[in-house]
Amino acid sequence: MQGIVRGVRSCQETLTVAVLKHTSGRDAAEQRIINTSTSSGSASSSPAMQEKGLENVTVADVLMSKGEEKTGSWLWCQTNDTVDDAIKNMAKNNIGSLVVLKPGEQQYVAGIITERDYMTKIIAPGRSSKYTKVGEIMTDENRLITVTSDTNILKAMQLMTDHQIRHAPVIDGKIVGMISIKDVVRAVVEQQNEELKRLNGFIKGDYF
């Protein structure tokens, strides 16, 4: 995942240099047209120019793009639930982790249980998932890595990469969703593709 982060930044730098070189090579008359177009605001009316850009994409945008209910009972379990029930919930909803809540109406976060927890703490040692409580194998809240809705997508990617995690709960005072490294990478790739299209159009002169 470190390679992905470096690749994204390298791609941005390369594209910027390419555009600058291309622009500097034009004759003065064409450059004046570019400057006039930019200053008049006509370029900003193009749909491609309205792309948010990676520096403006947040976790909230990723949650919205997933096109599914962001929160609900499918997203969490409780510490006193059995691991068997938690894994069945994951399988039913095609997700790789569940936020673990403490019993009670307040829904305080206790930790997270992931597929990795199940494999390493249940399957590998041969424990019974039916007689093991989620609280016994979950990653404790003190070690839980979370993000907020307004966290920048590149910051979220770096955070998940640095801590070598694949899932991060989104918590704004209370849980509002869950993102995976797959969600993050997809969002980054989509934005990079739009950036490439926009800059390619700029270089070809589609905006003039």
State both tokens at 10: 């390298």
Identity of the highest mean pLDDT range in 35-44, 132-141, 167-176, 179-188: 132-141
23 occurs within a structural domain: yes
24 occurs within a structural domain: yes
- Report d(CA 12, CA 195) in Å as an integer: 9
6 occurs within a structural domain: yes
Per-residue pLDDT band at 26 (split at 50, 70, 90): very low
Q: What are phi and psi of 18, to 5 degrees?
A: -60, -45
How many CB atoms are closer than 10 A to CB 14? Answer: 10
| Percentage of residues of the chain with pLDDT beyond 70 | 70
- Report d(CA 130, CA 155) in Å as an integer: 38
Contact, 101 vs 108, CB < 8 A?
A: yes
State both tokens at 37: 């177009």
108 occurs within a structural domain: no
Per-residue pLDDT band at 51 (split at 50, 70, 90): low
Q: Whole-structure pTM over 0.85, yes or no? A: no
State both tokens at 86: 């938690």
Mean pLDDT (whole number) for 39-62: 59
Per-residue pLDDT band at 66 (split at 50, 70, 90): confident
Give buried/exposed letters for 188-201 (b at 16+ CB in 10 A, else e): beebbebbeebbee
19 occurs within a structural domain: yes
- Report d(CA 114, CA 107) in Å as an integer: 19
The angle formed by the CA atoms of residues 159, 107 and 147, to the nearest 5 degrees, is: 15
Q: How many domains does the chain have?
A: 1
Q: 173 pLDDT exceeds 50? A: yes
49 occurs within a structural domain: yes
- Report d(CA 25, CA 31) in Å as an integer: 9
46 occurs within a structural domain: yes
32 occurs within a structural domain: yes
Residue 138: burial class (beta carbons within 10 Å; 0-12, 13-18, 19+)? buried
Range of the domain at 199: 2-55+186-204
